[in-house]
Amino acid sequence: MSASTRRGGTIALLAVGLLLLGACAAGPNVAENPGGYGFWWGLWQGAILPVTFIVSLFTDTVSVYEVDNNGNWYDVGFVLGIALFSAPVLALRSRR
């Protein structure tokens, strides 16, 4: 297998991965949750933060942080979600 074929396959795989991650972006808050969003929503939205941030640069209907949250538990989940996403990325970066 030549290097150009391998590079083309890698680019195609990255493009498909970015499209799949784009489908995970948070949407607008159209209906308020009476109890507010808790730990699990914070964890999910922290994990998808990189994709949500990029999408939020191009549209006003996507926000990075859920304003209708229940306080500290949402924040803990949000930060933990960011850490769970960024740790493997940083580990792979330091290996090179």
Q: What is the pLDDT of residues 36-88, one digit of tens each?
A: 888 999 999 999 988 899 988 998 888 888 888 888 999 999 999 999 888 77
pTM: 0.62
| Number of other residues whose CB lies within 10 A of the CB of residue 1 | 6
The secondary structure of residue 35, as a DSSP letter, is T
Residue 69: strand pairing partners: 37
Q: Residue type at 76?
A: V
Domain count, the chain: 1
Q: How confident is the model at residue 95 (pLDDT cuts 50, 70, 90)?
A: low
Residue 39 sits in which domain range?
Answer: 3-95
Q: H or E segment at 92?
A: helix 72-95
Residue 2's pLDDT is what? 62
Do the Cβ atoms of 46 and 76 come closer than 8 Å? no
